[in-house]
A and B are shown apart, each in its own frame.
Chain A
Amino acid sequence: MDETVIVTAQGERRYLWSAGESMIRIALLFAAVLLSCCNHAQKAPAPSTAVPVTSAPRPAPPPVQTAPAPQEPAVAKTAPPVVAPAKEPAKGASQEAKPVEVKTGQEKAAEKKPAPTPTPAAAPAAKEPVAAPTPKAKGFDLDMLTERLKQTSAIGVFTKLAINSDATDLIDAVKKYRKLAVLQAKHAEVRSRFDGLVMKILALLEDDPELARNIYLAREQIWSSLLEVTP
């Protein structure tokens, strides 16, 4: 410490180590800024964590219907890492830049530059909710939904009986059409009746939104299981 102190002719004490340290800090800051610039230009190092991230959602749209379940977690897992590397350089830059106030402009630039990186990943994430219902519906359990519909307090007993009657009528109609081999011809009619019944149930489940959501997400599976009803 003693070697770094210089006493001037006027008796002022200047610390050489502070200048050296500040130089090192400036050099580090430059290195961080350069790295972030390189990352932004090449999209190589920052995407080192983000490359699998961004590449995963892009092929996602085509196979959405075939294998949606693995894609959904991939996006969910990838979304945070994209943001995390963006924050890390910003934090490092801000911690190093605090002592050197001159570099705050560059620091801001460094903080602003990583910000656009999440946007490309955010775009596929925004598109993903369209495909989200399918993975949710994959864990579809008709018995569980039926039981929850029976147990819910959002619908009264007679209303439940009315819905049950409607569902039974619809199943009977499907059985009848299949027996007569006209199910394909009556497909649109049966589907509209099914949609009407689902809408009725959803409207009635105003006080149980979670169940309503689950039924809405599983409606295609319910429809498939309705068509698979054996005569």
Chain B
Amino acid sequence: MKHKLLLLFPLLLAMSALAVVPEEDVATTITLRGHQCGGPATDVQERQDAEGNKTIAALCPNGSRYRIDVTKDGRLTVTPIR
């Protein structure tokens, strides 16, 4: 059993490596909404209010800062922060 788990561990690591990194995910979302980011975002801060709405603040490599709002019903908007 231990051996099987040990064998599974690298596989799980590899699978997690294949998954999209949150910084890349945020940058892709910003780009999809027509804004420039210039690479994976940094300084990603996620907050959730009592109603279930989520707010993500992120800094792009090009210096732009964006706010991503996700409502509780799944609507997503990207707003540049000046």
Q: A: which residues have CB within 8 A of B?
A: 153-159, 161-166, 168, 200, 204, 207
Given contacts A153-B19, A207-B18, contact A159 B74 (CB under 8 A): no
Q: At the interface, is chain A mostly helix, strand, loop or mixed?
A: helix
CA distance A164 to B32 in the complex (A): 12
15 interchain pairs (CB within 8 A)?
A153-B20, A155-B28, A156-B21, A157-B25, A158-B25, A158-B28, A158-B29, A158-B56, A161-B70, A161-B74, A161-B76, A162-B32, A162-B33, A164-B74, A166-B32
Interface 1/0 per residue, B11-54 and A, CB below 8 Å: 00001001111101110110011000000000000000000000
> Of A153, A158, A163, which is in contact with the most chain B CB atoms at under 10 Å from its CB?
A158
Closest residue to A204 on the B side, CB-wise? B28
Given contacts A153-B19, A153-B20, A207-B18, contact A165 B74 (CB under 8 A): yes
Q: Using C-beta atoms within 8 Å of the partner chain, give the interface range for chain B.
A: 20 to 34
Are B33 and A159 closer than 8 Å at their CB atoms? no
Are A156 and B25 closer than 8 Å at their CB atoms? yes
CB of B75 closer than 8 Å to a CB of A:
yes
Are B18 and A165 closer than 8 Å at their CB atoms? no
Q: B: which residues have CB within 8 A of A?
A: 15, 18-22, 24-26, 28-29, 32-33, 56, 68, 70, 74-78
- Contact residues in B for A165 (Cβ distance below 8 Å): 74-77
CA distance A217 to B56 in the complex (A): 35
Are A158 and B18 closer than 8 Å at their CB atoms? no
CA distance A27 to B13 in the complex (A): 69
- Contact residues in A for B74 (Cβ distance below 8 Å): 161, 164-165, 168
Are B19 and A158 closer than 8 Å at their CB atoms? no
- Contact residues in B for A153 (Cβ distance below 8 Å): 15, 18-20
Looking at the complex, which one of B20, B21, B75 makes contact with A154 (CB distance below 8 Å)?
Answer: B20
Are B32 and A200 closer than 8 Å at their CB atoms? yes
Are A159 and B75 closer than 8 Å at their CB atoms? no
- Contact residues in A for B22 (Cβ distance below 8 Å): 156
Closest residue to B22 on the A side, CB-wise? A156
Q: Smallest distance from the beta carbon of B43 to chain A beta carbons, Å?
A: 15
